[in-house]
Amino acid sequence: DVKVTQSSRYLVKRTGEKVFLECVQDMDHENMFWYRQDPGLGLRLIYFSYDVKMKEKGDIPEGYSVSREKKERFSLILESASTNQTSMYLCASSLIGTGLSGNTIYFGEGSWLTVV
Amino acid sequence: RKEVEQDPGPFNVPEGATVAFNCTYSNSASQSFFWYRQDCRKEPKLLMSVYSSGNEDGRFTAQLNRASQYISLLIRDSKLSDSATYLCVVRDFGNEKLTFGTGTRLTIIP
């Protein structure tokens, strides 16, 4: 079974703090993603990466950065946390490619971040 | 217009009934389609892929209408355990990203 692990499940941070959210996958997937999910807005893509040290902006990258130094690990960084970044953050991974099986995306359990 | 649109619901349906959801997508170049299920405060999980010819998995049937740019999910003989949010997901040709609808919330009532 694919395993995507988000090490921090519940965090409370202060405005202005730097926040790191870590994600590790164990299936040698090329693609990794960070989404945030908010009521009424669904899942919105923040950043994704299709290879080590490669990254692309998603739909809402402002206020975030990412790091992918190893294939299995994709980190989301909030440089200076703000209250509007309170949300559930979901990491995901998938194989690269155009086949249907390559498009299946596997999610971690989510990280619930509250910024006060 | 949103790329992927779903009726948010909630749908409150008696146990044993049949329920259908639709989802529309705006990009005619979209290539792959999926339904994901998300339980409360959990991560989304793949329910089924949607093929051009339509496909069935037990009580679940998915259909794709490329001409009208919508996909559907039919659940027959609904169970209490079907209560969840159902997410419509679309992937565009030549793109590794997936676009999610906001989800349709379903509650099965005993």
Q: Between chains, do A100 and B49 touch, taking CB under 8 Å as contact?
A: yes
Pairing mode of beta strands A64-70, A56-57? unpaired
Residues on chain B touching A41 (C-beta within 8 angstroms): 102
Helix (H, G, I), strand (E, B) or coil at A85: helix
pLDDT above 70 for A19: yes
Confidence band, pLDDT 50/70/90 cuts, at residue B27: confident
3-state SS, one letter per residue, for chain B: CCCEEECCCCEEEECCCCEEEEEEECCCCEEEEEEEEECCCCCCEEEEEECCCCEEECCEEEEEECCCCEEEEEECCCCHHHCEEEEEEEEECCCCCEEECCCEEEEEEC
Average pLDDT over residues A66-94: 96
Per-residue pLDDT band for A40 (boundaries 50, 70, 90) equals: confident
List pLDDT tens digits, range B36-94: 999 998 999 999 989 888 899 999 999 999 999 999 999 999 999 999 999 999 987 77
Q: What confidence score (pLDDT) does residue B1 get?
A: 65
Q: What is the pLDDT of residue B54?
A: 86
Q: Which of residues 20-79 of A touch B (CB under 8 A)?
A: 31, 33, 35, 40-43, 45, 48, 50, 58
Pick the residue from chain B with its C-alpha nearest to A46.
B97
Q: pLDDT confidence of B15, banded at 50, 70, 90?
A: very high
Q: For residue A103, what pLDDT band results from cuts at 50, 70 and 90?
A: low
Per-residue CA distances from B89 to A114, B30, B48 (Å) = 27, 10, 10
Contact flag B32-A103 (C-beta cutoff 8 Å)? yes
Rounded Cα distance between A70 and A73, Å, is 5
Can you tell me which residue has the tokens 């039919």? B74
The secondary element (H helix, E strand) that includes residue A100 is helix A100-103
Round to whole Å and give the CA distance between B48 and A53: 32
Confidence (pLDDT) at B28: 83
- Chain B residues within 8 A of A34 when measuring between CB atoms: none
Answer yes or no: do B43 and A98 touch at CB < 8 A.
Answer: no
pLDDT band (50, 70, 90) for residue B19: very high
Residues 6+ apart with CB under 8 A from B42: A109, A110
Q: How confident is the model at residue A36 (pLDDT cuts 50, 70, 90)?
A: very high
Instruction: Taking residues A82-108, report their average pLDDT.
Output: 82
8-state DSSP, A72:
T
Confirm or reject contact between A11 and chain B (CB < 8 A).
no
Which amino acid, A18?
A: K
Cross-chain Cβ contact B34/A94 below 8 Å: no
Cα–Cα distance, A39 to B86 (Å, whole number): 14
Residue B104 predicted with pLDDT over 90: yes
Do the Cβ atoms of A107 and B103 come within 8 Å?
no
Indicate whether A100 pLDDT > 70.
Answer: no
Look up residue A16 and give its DSSP letter.
T
pLDDT, position A2: 66
